[in-house]
Structure 1
Amino acid sequence: MNIEQINHISVIGSGAMGSQIAMVCALAGYEVTLQDINEESLAKAKESLTGHMERRIKKGRLTVDEVNRAFNRLSFENKLEEAVKETDYVIEAIVEKVDVKRELFQQLDELTPPHTILATNSSTIVSSQIADATKRPEKVCNMHFFNPALVMELVEVVQGPHTSEETANVTVELTNKINKRPILLKKEISGFVANRILGKLMNEAIYLLENEIATPEEIDLACTKALNHPIGPFALIDLTGLDVHYNVRMQRYEESGNEEDKPSETIIEKVERGELGRKAGKGFYTYS
């Protein structure tokens, strides 16, 4: 398998991350199928991508022709078999739950051509927890994009002990082809590089909040204006989703057994109230 053999990419999961990964690949010239069993989610994904592209046209970042060509290369499909039967590369972007991912990868192994590489976008679940659900563990790896995928440049490629050099190298080359910057981790570790560093920042931010030392607004302001971060930790949690943050922390806790890895009481309470961030209209901030 080499980079020239990749002509079609399938992205599984049409949430904000999956839909934007699909558009990134389509803008780079690949034929792409975005798959989700939920038709409503697919419709929302198409509407959201249309809005993103219209804004880029208005700002002069893309032309109408470039956007039209990208949408012509991008198809939306609710049947998994149809989405992957002739694909060369799969990027999974579904819920952060090991059992759900394992079930999907087992299906993908049966439905995709033998040469197809199967990547997970997960930043928490290393691919060695999924690879043995397939008969091609050497073709399974992590390919982790950052939210929002249309904007963020970095992609973390993780080569597990089961992942072949060929799969890792092709994934790094593909990352370059879709105009992203790859880093290749030769060893698995939960959270990889960026999110392990970010996790320490998040922990301290929530500590300051829960001990009534500062408000979310003040903590975010300290990060953006003193540390020169583009976005504060609470605004970032709202952007990615408090439910995503909760699931990531629970996954890490289940792996480590360390109580410190559990989601904070603040996060748990907000998730229980349905305050999931931007997508719900309220998280640490309120959105119109």
Structure 2
Amino acid sequence: MTPSLSSSLENGPHRLCVLGGGVLGGQIAWHSAFKGKSVIVYDIDDTALERCRASHDHYAGIYQADVGAKPEAIAATRARLAYTSDLAEAVADAELVIEAVPEDPEIKRQLYRTLSPLLSPETLVATNSSTLLPADFADDSGRPERYCALHFANLVWIMNVA
């Protein structure tokens, strides 16, 4: 049985969904899994997900060379990652959803409107947007009180800053 979100969030979110497996979304997903989080990457189709998986293969080598990750840590990271193009499946158990889709206001608004009814009332939603004002999307999220900005720096393994 899955614990309630309230009790599981006492120690921080452990089940994440990253919406968008592009450059930064892929890095966020890999690094979060490397740090012990269970992560589902959502993207719009299998082609986008394959690109994300290929990036994750590349990050495995970078983490071994630059971060000093052992093969066991890479295997554990891979085991904590899942990929889907089914939005409802992606967010079903998420405690934290991190949106990292293209910096297009209409894409973000539509995604939030579709996403909102699929989430538990307690799920936190964060945008990784770097060029748009998060406040412009708070109402579209359907949960302005549980919506925030959480921007990760590119090359997250070097710039481990959010």
TM-score (normalised: structure 1)? 0.51
TM-score, length basis structure 2: 0.89
For structure 2, which runs of at least 5 residues remain unmatched after alignment?
A: 1-5
Say whether 1:31 aligns with 2:19: no
Within 1, Cα distance between the matches of 2:99 and 2:60? 23
Q: How does 1:92-241 map to 2 (within 5 A)?
A: 92-155=99-162
Q: Deviations over 1:141-186 (max 9, x none)?
A: 110111123322221xxxxxxxxxxxxxxxxxxxxxxxxxxxxxxx
* Counterpart residue number, 2:87: 80
Aligned partner of 1:50 in structure 2 is: 57
- State the Cα RMSD in Å: 1.6
Distance 2:134 2:62 in 1: 35
Matched-pair contact (CA < 8 Å) for 2:67–2:157: no
Aligned residues: 155
* Structure with the largest fraction of helix: 1
Post-superposition offset of 1:56: 2.9
Alpha-carbon offset, residue 134 of structure 1:
3.1
Q: Work out the CA distance in 2 between the residues paired with 1:89 and 1:95.
A: 19
- State percent identity of aligned pairs: 31
1:23–1:150 CA contact under 8 A, matched in 2: no
Instruction: Look up the SS of the partner of 1:154 in the other structure.
Output: coil
Structure 1 unaligned spans of 5+:
156-288
Q: Is the contact between residue 17 and residue 42 of structure 2 (CA under 8 Å) also seen in structure 1?
A: yes
Question: Displacement, 1:140?
Answer: 0.7
Q: Which entry has the higher C-alpha Rg, 1 or 2?
A: 1
Partner SS, residue 29 of structure 1: coil
Q: Contact (CA 8 Å) 2:112, 2:142: kept in 1 or not?
A: no
**Distance verdict in 2 for CA 1:136–1:56, change over 3 Å:** closer
For 2:16 and 2:155, the matched residues in 1 are separated by 19
Structure of higher RCO (CA pairs closer than 8 Å, 6+ residues apart): 2
Q: Residue 66 of structure 1 aligns with which residue?
A: 73
